[in-house]
Amino acid sequence: MSQSLPRSWSEVWRGPTACFASSLIGWTRGSWMLQPQSRTRRSQVGLSGLSGANLKVISTMSVGVDHLALEEIKKRGIRVGYTPDVLTDATAELAMSLLLTTCRRLPEAIEEVKNGGWTSWKPLWMCGYGLTGSTVGIIGLGRIGQAIAQRLKPFGVQRFLYTGRQPRPQEAAEFQAEFVSTPKLAAESDFIIVACSLTPATKGLCNKDFFQQMKHTAVFVNISRGDVVNQDDLYQALASGQIAAAGLDVTTPEPLPTDHPLLTLKNCVILPHIGSATYGTRNTMSLLAANNLLAGLRGEPMPSELKL
């Protein structure tokens, strides 16, 4: 993203990873703009350490904005650019990959080949769960949720359920998806995919009660935000056999410590938050973020501005 900005700018972080919030605050005192990554190394980018009246524009290379102190930003009248839509397809593709990897136990199968576990044919060896004729529940039928449902249709899914803040009949019509309560979705779905935004209402939504309502054969996938899931409760559900398996592209914290209990489970597949990680998508995101920033500084409409 920094390659899209003028080389003459005095403070541009050009490292391959997100910078620390302390460094960010130090560099941006007196600045007119701020362009944090979605994983700037602090839970939120606060503004208390930044110059008061000068900061006018924030542009983030993400669709999620839970790393921004939105109430303070709104109070100060700061404009925010973000990058929705451009990562929808890549994230939906990753969700499909993670779902299939988890429900068909691919990591276990690969290890069996490597360690000599692949011997004579056994009828039920390495069996998983298929999508044909299944019921899929999607938590959050937004852009990404819809893109996931579109990709699931050719697999012969029989029934789609979804939940969210309100029914979306126009979007749901393509899949004949049924708007249901969260408990009903948990109880009746064979596969559950979390694709909602992180809000106060969704934080910790998938907890002990939620997992206890799921089928013992159900597979759970989260590609939204780690805080939507109570990970201690998820671990217990997986370790006890309450649910069959889980696939996570997001965790709390990120990165997940290598000694975390979830990493000890064969029935839990964890990826390092790579939903948008294709070359084309990241290039498009960086250009959009830079153009949002430049438009904001010029006082022009941003290509993609967050409504606060």
Active site residues: 273
Q: Quick one: tokens of 33?
A: 């703009």
Q: Residue 105: CA atoms inside 13 Å, Cβ hemisphere, count? A: 16
Where do the H-state alpha helices sit in the chain? 21-28, 70-75, 88-103, 106-115, 143-152, 169-172, 182-188, 208-213, 231-239, 279-298
Chain-centre distance for alpha carbon 3 = 25
Determine contact, residues 266/235, Cβ cutoff 8 Å: no
Q: Which of 66, 72, 9 is nearest to 36 (CA)?
A: 66
Determine contact, residues 234/211, Cβ cutoff 8 Å: yes
Determine contact, residues 81/292, Cβ cutoff 8 Å: yes
Run of H or E residues at 246: strand 245-248
Q: Which of 146, 143, 131 is nearest to 219 (CA)?
A: 131
> Rounded distance, CA 264 to CA 258, Å?
9
Answer positive or negative: Cα dihedral of 188, 155, 90, 103: positive
Say if residue 255 is preceded by a cis peptide, omega within 30 of 0.
yes
Q: Quick one: tokens of 253?
A: 């914290």
